[in-house]
Amino acid sequence: MAAATETAPASSAPAPPQNSSLYVGDLDREATEASLYELFSQVGPVASIRVCRDAVTRRSLGYAYVNYNSALDPAAAERALETLNYTPVNGKPIRIMWSHRDPAFRKSGVGNIFIKNLDKSIDNKA
């Protein structure tokens, strides 16, 4: 009877889905999906990349989304965030953060503040 009431160990329970989607901002207008794939695929298996473009002119809007295949490598997006943030693409440092697709999270009021045009003596390590 004791066997019927035992529960499975926590390690055998399915893990919650890992966020594998990254927002890439401050992109040079000439950055392409191919150049981003070349950079981000060094970190792990890229599932897709989309450079967001103006619907009429098709010019880059200066940001993209990179999605990793979390089934093959659950930590790839985390590694990309840690190692590629502020890496220059076409001579311009990119800014990477998690992409949150859940509208409830986006409307929660929690977020980041980015300040540009600071004095040259102030860097991202300060």
Q: Report the alpha-carbon distance of residue 87 to residue 90 in Å, rounded.
A: 10
Give tens-digit pLDDT for 81-106: 999 999 999 999 999 999 977 667 65
Contact 85, 40 (CB under 8 A): no
pLDDT in tens, 31-64: 999 999 999 999 999 999 999 999 999 999 999 9
Q: Interior CA angle at 27 toward 26 and 32, to 5°? A: 165
pTM for the model: 0.71
Average pLDDT estimate for 3-17: 46
- 36 and 65 Cβ atoms separated by less than 8 Å: no
